[in-house]
Chain A
Amino acid sequence: MCLGVPGKVLEVDGLVAIVDFWGLRRPILLDSVDQPVSPGDYILNHVGFAIRRIPPEEIGETLLLYEQLLRESGEDMMAADVRSEIRATGGEGGP
Chain B
Amino acid sequence: MTTLCPRPSATPLKFRDPAKARAMARSLARLTRQIGRAPVSVMHVCGSHEQAIAKFGLRASFPKDLNVIMGPGCPVCVTDVPEVDEAVVLATRGVRIATYGDMVKVPGTVRSLADAQAEGARVHVVYSVAQAVELARETDDEVVFFASGFETTAVATAAVVLRGLPRNFSILSAHKYIPPVMEIVAEMPEGRVEGFLAAGHAATITGWGIFERFVERHRIPVVVAGFEPLDILAGLVKLLEVIHDGRPRVENMYPRCVTREGNLRAQEQLWKVFRPVGGRWRGIAHVPNGNLRLRDEWAGVDARRRFHIDVTGLWDSSPSALVQECICGDIMAGIASPTDCALYGSECLPETPVGACMVSSEGTCKIWHQYGGHPDLGGAP
Contact = CB atoms under 8 A, between A and B. Distances in A.
- The finding on whether chains A and B are genuine partners in a shared complex, rather than unrelated, reads yes
Contacts of A49: 128, 130, 155-156, 159
Contacts of A2: 46-48, 150, 152-153, 199, 201-202
A61 B370 contact: no
Nearest to B362: A1
A91 interface: yes
B162 A31 contact: yes
B95 interface: no
A34 B47 contact: no
A70 interface: no
A48 B256 contact: no
Interface in A51-70: 51-52, 54-55, 58, 61-62, 64-65, 68
A44 interface: yes
B257 interface: yes
A76 to B, nearest CB: 7
B163 A31 contact: yes
Contacts of A81: 48, 51, 361
A3 B371 CA distance: 18
B159 A32 contact: yes
Interface in B284-305: none
Interface residues of A, number: 41
A44 B371 CA distance: 26
A95 B55 CA distance: 26
Contacts of B129: 47-48
A75 interface: yes
Given A2-B152, A46-B156, A51-B204, A32 B269 contact: yes
B127 A48 contact: yes
Contacts of B14: 68
A87 to B, nearest CB: 5
Contacts of A89: 127-128, 130-131
Interface in B240-279: 256-257, 263-266, 269
A47 B153 contact: yes
Given A1-B47, A44-B201, A61 B256 contact: yes
A33 B227 contact: no
A46 B366 contact: no
Given A80-B361, A93-B134, A33 B265 contact: yes
Contacts of B205: 51
B9 interface: yes
B245 to A, nearest CB: 28
B269 A3 contact: no
A77 to B, nearest CB: 5
Contact of B51 (A32, A48, A78): A78
A85 to B, nearest CB: 8
Most chain A CB atoms below 10 A, which of B14, B131, B149, B371: B131
A1 B202 CA distance: 10
B233 interface: no
A16 B351 CA distance: 38
Given A77-B367, A78-B51, A88 B128 contact: yes
B129 to A, nearest CB: 7
Given A61-B228, A61-B256, 11 more contacts: A2-B202, A32-B158, A33-B265, A48-B127, A52-B257, A62-B257, A77-B55, A78-B361, A89-B128, A89-B130, A92-B134
19 contacts: A1-B362, A3-B51, A29-B130, A31-B162, A31-B163, A33-B263, A33-B266, A34-B263, A46-B153, A48-B128, A58-B257, A61-B256, A62-B257, A64-B16, A68-B14, A77-B51, A81-B361, A89-B131, A93-B134
The 5 closest A-B pairs by CB, nearest first: A48-B128, A88-B127, A58-B256, A31-B159, A3-B48
